[in-house]
Amino acid sequence: MAMAMSATPFLRPLSQVEFRKCPFLSSKPHFHPHLLRFHSQPTIRASSALSLDSGLSTQNDQAIKDDVFACPICYEPLIRKGPSGLNISAIYRSGFKCKRCNKFYSSKERYLDLTVTAGMRDYSEVQPARTELFRSPLVSFLYERGWRQNFRQSGFPGPDEEFRAAQEYFESSKGGLLVDVSCGSGLFSRKFAKSGSYSGVIALDFSENMLRQCYDFIKKDDTLSTANIALVRADVSRLPFSSGSVDAVHAGAALHCWPSPSNAVAEFTRVLRSGGKFVGTTFLRYTPSTPWIIRPFRERTTQGYGYLTEDEIEDLCTSTGLTNYSSKIQQSYIMFTAEKP
Ligand SMILES: C[S@@+](CC[C@H](N)C(=O)[O-])C[C@H]1O[C@@H](n2cnc3c(N)ncnc32)[C@H](O)[C@@H]1O
């Protein structure tokens, strides 16, 4: 038994494992739908439980309706062809299809691309500068190697304390599915996955390079290589999840980077189940204690980012249907939470 287990590729460190893609999937950058055949089999609800499948055969893979992933165009649950499970290897080897849009989604490199533009040949979308900045390979590389440490100067307590505080807010969501929206290089996604508190963690970002960094960090960490963590590329304003399918949404240091915070929070309201929690952190434009004379200066120096005031953040959450808003502030740092009724 022990020998059989050790021969199982998914029990080895990720760095030593060669994943085989679903044979129906092209490894070329542009995915060819005709290579993926979906048989008309009875629909089986996918389980988000950890799959330690052998990974040796895809012959028995079935087309199943995925519980969580939905088409970013029409929000219809995707049909998954490939091994089940919410781990990187299983998702990498799976193809996803929207029956309504007849659109196919697959993993580019190690993340599943669930943006509306996935698979488009000619069109590529340019987002506002505050989103594009983080798509740069250099910024993505530097992010956990000094960039984020600078946030301390604005009152951010640091990743360990931010994680501890978020975990407290997520107490009632434990055991469920957590989406770390705008995860960057996965600083918090990895902590959530390691905590063992959730049935699955989805590290989601718009930046391809941040997701590559995220994969590299996971690969170096043996304890995470078989964890229930998936990497997904998506736009926060168009979340590729079924309504009411998510237990917790975390968005660290991110709200100020989004093109439309209101669309993003509206999406959290849609995807959270009743009682599900949203926890976010961001920089405040100014706090109630900021002297009036300083405020115009803050307005000018923060123009490139969407820094909000506390009242604006509360308004965003409550106007999109979330309740039980509360927050903690330290200098320009705010951690806030709200709940899906
Ligand atoms: C400052 S980083 C935060 C990373 C991490 N959550 C943390 O706490 O350090 C902001 C992240 O927001 C992401 N982002 C910006 N616009 C986005 C969008 N439209 N959809 C999803 N993520 C976006 C960026 O790619 C970047 O990784």
Question: CA neighbours within 13 Å on the CB side: how many for 85?
Answer: 21
* Residue 201 reports pLDDT greater than 70: yes
What are the pLDDT digits (tens) for 243-259? 999 999 999 999 999 99
* Structural domains of the chain in order of their starting residue, each with its CATH number: 2-113 (no CATH), 129-339 (3.40.50.150)
Q: Is 72 in the pocket of ligand 1 (CB under 6 A)?
A: no
Instruction: Summarize the confidence of residues 172-193 as an average pLDDT.
Output: 97
Cα angle 253, 170, 271 (rounded to 5 degrees) comes to 75
| CA dist., res. 46 & res. 220, Å (int) | 29
Strands in the chain per DSSP E? 62-70, 77-82, 95-98, 103-105, 107-108, 111-113, 177-181, 200-205, 229-233, 246-251, 272-283, 323-330, 333-339
State pTM to two decimals: 0.84
| CA dist., res. 211 & res. 233, Å (int) | 7
* Residue 197 reports pLDDT greater than 60: yes
Nearest C-alpha neighbor of 83 from the set 105, 124, 50: 50
* Residue 35 reports pLDDT greater than 50: no
Q: Considering the chain, what is the average pLDDT of its residues? A: 83
Adjacency order of strands within the sheet including 246-251:
107-108, 111-113, 229-233, 200-205, 177-181, 246-251, 272-283, 333-339, 323-330
Longest CA–CA separation in the chain, Å: 71
Neighbour-count burial of 329, counting CB atoms closer than 10 A to its CB (0-12 exposed, 13-18 middle, 19+ buried): middle
Q: Residue 179 C-alpha to ligand 1 middle, in angstroms?
A: 13
Q: Is 233 in the pocket of ligand 1 (CB under 6 A)?
A: no
Q: Between 340 and 52, whose confidence is greater?
A: 340
Q: Residue 229 C-alpha to ligand 1 middle, in angstroms?
A: 18
Most confident among 27-36, 52-61, 79-88, 207-216 (mean pLDDT): 207-216
DSSP 8-state code for residue 117 = T
Residue 301: the pLDDT is: 62
Instruction: Choose one of 113, 187, 250, 257 to mutate for the ligand 1 pocket test, by most ligand atoms within 8 angstroms of C-beta.
Output: 257
Q: Is 257 in the pocket of ligand 1 (CB under 6 A)?
A: yes
Instruction: Summarize the confidence of residues 200-215 as an average pLDDT.
Output: 97
For ligand 1, atom 24, which residue shows the shortest CA distance?
Answer: 134
